[in-house]
Amino acid sequence: MKQVLQNCTICPRKCGIDRTKSAGYCGASDKIEVSKVMLHHWEEPCISGTGKNRGSGAVFFTHCPLGCVYCQNRDISRRSCAGTVYTVCGLAEVFLGLQRDGAFNINLVSPTQYTPQIIEAVRIAKSEGLTLPVVWNTGGYELPETVELLRGTVDVFLTDFKYASPETAKLYSAAEDYPATAAQSLAKMYELTGACEFDDAGMMTRGIIVRHLILPGHRADSAAVLRKIAETVPVENIRLSLMAQYTPEFLPEDPVEKYKKIRRRITSFEYSAVLDESERLGFEGYSQERTSATKKYTPDF
C-alpha cells in the first residue's frame, strides 16, 4: 500500500507525487481523512431506502481528484480541506458500526484517492462480520485499472457521467480527458458487476447506477452523455439517475464571465428535453423534481 502512494497514479491525474511526504493533486496525503459518517436518506431509493429509520451508511471522504467548479461538496473536496484521520483498522470499525446502526449498505463517497486503504479496510471488516453491500460513490473519473482493483471489494457502483464534451469537461473540471476516461471506467465497472440485482425489499445488492447532473445551457451535451452511456453498457441492465439539483450557489464568484453560462438553475424545458432522450434510449431509473435545486440536500459538513 505504501509503495502505491509513494508514486501516486491511482486516479487519471497520475500526479506521481509521493503522498507519504506531501499531498497529491487531489489534496490527500497517505492519511485517510473522513469528513462525515452518517445514515444518509437522500440517495436513490434503492440505496437509501424510503423510510427514515435506516438509510445508507455514508462515509464522506475528504478531498477529490476532480474538483468541479460547481461542486456541492466543496467544503470537503478542496485541497485545503481537512477531515478526521482514521487508520485502516479504524475505518473498518466505522463500517462495522454503520452495519450495527442498521445501514442498508456501506456508501463510500468520493473514495478514489484512498483506494488501497479502503480495499484493506473492507477486507478487515468482512473478516470481522461485515455483510453489507459496498457502494463506490464516485464522480466517474476513474482509471479502469483502479476499478479492476475493486473486484471482490465493491458490489455497487454509484457513478457519475458528467460530460460528453472534452471542452466542457476542461472548463468546469480541468479534465479534458473526462469523457473518454468515464466511458472506459464505466465499461470496466459493468465487467465487474454485470446486471443490477436487488433484494426482496428493492435495495440494490449489485450493479451500477449512473448519475448525470444536468447543467444549465448544456442540454445537448447531456443528451450526448446519455447516448455515450447507451453505447458503453446495456441500458436495460443498469439504472440511470437524472439529477435536476444543480444550483449556482456553490460557484466561485470570480471569474464571472468564465462561468456565466451556468450561473442559473436549469429550466423545465432543459430538464424535459433530457428526460425525453433518456426515455427514447430505453433507460430505467430515477429522476428528480426541479425543486431539489437547493442546498437543502447537501449534508452539513
In a domain, 47, yes or no: yes
| pLDDT of residue 43 exceeding 80 | yes
Report the pLDDT value the prediction gives residue 75, as an integer from 0 to 100: 80
Mean pLDDT lowest for which of 30-44, 62-76, 171-185, 199-213?
62-76
Is 221 inside a domain boundary? yes
Q: φ and ψ at 151, to 5 degrees?
A: -60, 125
Q: How many independent structural domains does the chain possess?
A: 1
Average pLDDT, the chain: 94
Per-residue pLDDT averaged across 74-101, rounded? 91
Report how far residue 153's alpha carbon sits from residue 176's, in angstroms, rounded to the nearest whole number: 29
Residue 188 in this model has a pLDDT that exceeds 90: yes
Q: Which grid cell is 69? A: 467548479
DSSP per residue, 244-281: ----GGGS-SSSTTTTGGGSSPPPHHHHHHHHHHHHHH
| Gap between the Cα atoms of 13 and 115, Å rounded | 15
Query: How confident is residue 82, by pLDDT bands cut at 50, 70 and 90?
Result: confident
Q: Which pLDDT score, from 0 to 100, does residue 301 have?
A: 43
Domain contains 53: yes
pLDDT at 299: 58
C-alpha cell at 85: 484521520
168 occurs within a structural domain: yes
Backbone angles phi and psi of 131, in degrees to 5: -125, -5
pLDDT digits (tens, 9 = 90+) for 159-184: 999 999 999 999 999 999 999 999 99
pLDDT over 90 for what percent of the chain? Answer: 87
Q: Check residue 300 and give its pLDDT.
A: 58
C-alpha cell at 172: 468546469
Range of 99's domain?
Answer: 31-297
Residue 36: the pLDDT is 95
Q: What angle do CA 50, 43, 64 make, to 5 degrees?
A: 165
Per the domain annotation, does 18 fall within a domain?
A: no
Residue 3 placed within a domain: no
The pLDDT value recorded for residue 264 is: 96
The type of residue at 127 is: S
Q: Do 263 and 248 touch, CB atoms closer than 8 A?
A: yes
For 109-114, what is the mean pLDDT? 97
Going by the DSSP 8-state scheme, the letter that residue 80 receives in this structure is T
Other C-beta atoms closer than 10 Å to the C-beta of 18 total 13
> Is 242 within a domain?
yes
Mean pLDDT (whole number) for 123-131: 98
Q: Rounded distance, CA 292 to CA 195, Å? A: 29
Query: Residue 163: which residues within 8 A CB-CB, separation 6 or more?
Result: 169, 172, 173, 178, 179, 182, 221, 225
Q: CA 157 to CA 237: how far, in whole Å?
A: 13
Indicate whether 60 belongs to any domain: yes
Whole-number pLDDT of residue 122: 98
* Three cell numbers written together for 117: 486503504
Going by pLDDT thresholds of 50, 70 and 90, the confidence category of residue 282 is very high
Q: Residue type at 93?
A: E
Identify the CATH number of the domain in which residue 173 sits. Answer: 3.20.20.70
